[in-house]
Structure 1
Amino acid sequence: MEVVNLFTPFDIKYCEGDVCPMGKHRNNFFELVYILKGTGTLHNNQHTFEYEPENLFLFMPQDTQYTRIKERTAFVFIRFNGIYLEAQRTGNTHSNLGDWAKKLEYIFLNNHHFPGCILRNTDDKPIVRALVNALILEYPKEQSLRNEVVQQLVNTIITIVARNVSLVKPENPVVNSEVSNEILSYIHQNIYYPEKLRAEKLAAKFNISQNYISEYVKKVTGESIQRYVTNYKLKLVETRLQYSDMRMSEIVEELGFTDESHLNRTFKKYTGINPTDFRKKMWAEKNYQPGMSG
């Protein structure tokens, strides 16, 4: 199986044909795949999706995928790696978009609830199509502020995707699904601002008594607010350990742990492994390519 690498922080490709140019493969980067025209089936890990125009799919690093085209298909691939994500966070020469990486993390940590085309809001489809068409026109050009324009277009697509993910209803709602989904979405989007996630703040935000808000969240998630927030933070830690070169001290500061010792204890308590060993394990699996010898 071919393993595909991305040697630049960011790339956009347009491809049209009657046969997919790639067989079964595995990417070492994040990828959004947009269907401009055509039909067929897209295979990702154990899932198979029928695709059609205006579909948008999200794939994670190490996903195994291949495509079978039925009608001539035009694809647009938006690809980015850990270097690009880190650039969004730090504001270096590759980007000046403040919360871009946080929108991406929200999507990545919730997309497992969202199989198939990620655009469920039909009103968003013509907007995304226009943005993709603009990317196709702008990306090949070498002109003033080209990178800034491209990044703003992609940022808008990511924001629309995040909106669609946030609208997904729980599979087995126990209480009012609309309110419960709003609460969880609010927690996810404010995970970097712990003062907004206190029980009294949540109660005031959603007009629910403080005594009931914790019980309310527990009915939906099976966990207390504190435990749910901690687990979600640890998912963010896992994302950074797996897909970035961030130092432990940087993760501690960004996610509000007291110090590295606090991060190590918390991470090991809930995952059974310390952060350093987790990163080594993930990177070893990423670099292991079965069946590639000969």
Structure 2
Amino acid sequence: MMTNTNLYLPFEVDVKELEQFPKTTRKNNFFELIYVVGGTGIQIINNNQFQYRAGNLFLVTPQDIHSFEILTPTKFFFLRFNEYYIKTNSQNGLQETVRRMEYILQNASHRPGCILKNTVDKPLIASLIQSIINEQTNQQIYHQKITEQIVNAIITIVARNIALKLPKNIKEATGEVVLEILHYIQENIYNPKQLKANIISEHFNISLNYFGKYFKKQTGETLQEYISNYKLRLIEARLLNTDMRINEIADELHFSDESHLNKVFRKYKGMNPSEFRKTFSK
């Protein structure tokens, strides 16, 4: 049996200690970060399995079908957020957080497994989640505002860790420089003049002749392939999660016009953006 779960707030947190996970396969209309405070078992997502333990953090998207098989009593921390959370942050001027949130939404791998790839982030996430639990338990003045700030920090850390696993050759031990380059590309994706190879290589003090080979070796993609694929993920997210018109998306991402975006999208996806939205949006 599969159930659809709704979320009525921009974000919500929940802590549950379970000996058995509900005997339903869940599909949500929101994004969910699930942290294992303690316990062991198996995460089942899209017919894949992953053995979980304390300290694991999972990201479940609206496209995912998931459940858990609990082997030893497990304490779960749930952080759920939806498109309204993004819009709220945007209205409050937190553009940096919005961009990082987008990066999570478009680039989740939809595979099982802990998304914490950066070893130093694991104790940091554990501390931040415990801080949220404390704030929600003690309910002192400004606890909700403090919780919001911690949630934003968690989202930023998650974005950094997802960056580690996106290009196919990125590994946990990949050098810090290429991660900084990926971050630079994400930050400047709306500013194409800053995404030229000569500009990026100069910014990171890397020889232009060497830069292309270095980027391809570290990520498994050429610079232009990575930029194009990242733009496509941004387009998909807007088609599925917003009411933006195609020409508005084209303008935001600096395509020459709507027909140019349609041509590029069809080349990679085999259908135009309108068909994609109609086929895959809820």
TM-score by length of 1: 0.81
CA change 1:177–1:35 in 2 (3 A) is: closer
1:115 shift after superposition: 4.7
1:217 shift after superposition: 4.1
1:158 and 2:155 aligned: yes
1:121 and 2:121 aligned: no
1:227 shift after superposition: 4.3
1:255 shift after superposition: 2.1
The one-letter code of the counterpart of 1:123 is: V
Match of 1:4 in 2: 5
1:78 shift after superposition: 0.5
Tell me, in whole angstroms, the C-alpha distance in 1 between the residues paired with 2:138 and 2:95.
Answer: 25
Tell me, in whole angstroms, the C-alpha distance in 1 between the residues paired with 2:223 and 2:167.
Answer: 17
1:237 shift after superposition: 0.6
Match of 1:251 in 2: 249
The one-letter code of the counterpart of 1:61 is: P
Alignment deviations for residues 7-45 of structure 1 (CA, whole Å, 9 cap, x no partner)? 222221111121113522211211100111111111111
Query: Where in structure 1 are there 5+ consecutive unaligned residues?
Result: 287-294
CA change 1:109–1:206 in 2 (3 A) is: same
Tell me, in whole angstroms, the C-alpha distance in 2 between the residues paired with 1:159 and 1:194.
Answer: 23
2:46 and 2:111 in contact (8 A); partners too: no
CA change 1:51–1:206 in 2 (3 A) is: same
Q: Secondary structure at the match of 2:120?
A: helix
Tell me, in whole angstroms, the C-alpha distance in 2 between the residues paired with 1:196 and 1:46.
Answer: 41
Alignment deviations for residues 220-262 of structure 1 (CA, whole Å, 9 cap, x no partner)? 6676533432232121110111122334354234322344343
The one-letter code of the counterpart of 1:117 is: C
Match of 2:24 in 1: 23
Query: Where in structure 2 are there 5+ consecutive unaligned residues?
Result: none
Alignment deviations for residues 242-284 of structure 1 (CA, whole Å, 9 cap, x no partner)? 122334354234322344343333323432322222111112x
Match of 1:103 in 2: 100
Q: Which moved more, 1:51-60 or 1:143-152?
A: 143-152
Tell me, in whole angstroms, the C-alpha distance in 2 between the residues paired with 1:6 and 1:113.
Answer: 20
The one-letter code of the counterpart of 2:31 is: F
Tell me, in whole angstroms, the C-alpha distance in 2 between the residues paired with 1:142 and 1:113.
Answer: 35
Q: Secondary structure at the match of 2:189?
A: coil
Kindly tell me the number of residue pairs found equivalent between the two proteins.
278
1:64 shift after superposition: 0.9
Alignment deviations for residues 31-67 of structure 1 (CA, whole Å, 9 cap, x no partner)? 1001111111111113211111121111111211111
Runs (4+) off by over 6 Å: 140-143
TM-score by length of 2: 0.84
1:146 shift after superposition: 4.1
Match of 1:186 in 2: 184
Q: Secondary structure at the match of 1:112?
A: coil
The one-letter code of the counterpart of 1:53 is: A
1:101 shift after superposition: 2.4
The one-letter code of the counterpart of 1:150 is: T
Q: Which moved more, 1:260-269 or 1:55-64?
A: 260-269
Alignment deviations for residues 80-124 of structure 1 (CA, whole Å, 9 cap, x no partner)? 112222332x32xxx553221211232344442985111233332
Tell me, in whole angstroms, the C-alpha distance in 2 between the residues paired with 1:204 and 1:22.
Answer: 55
Residue identity over aligned pairs, in percent, reads 46
CA change 1:144–1:98 in 2 (3 A) is: farther
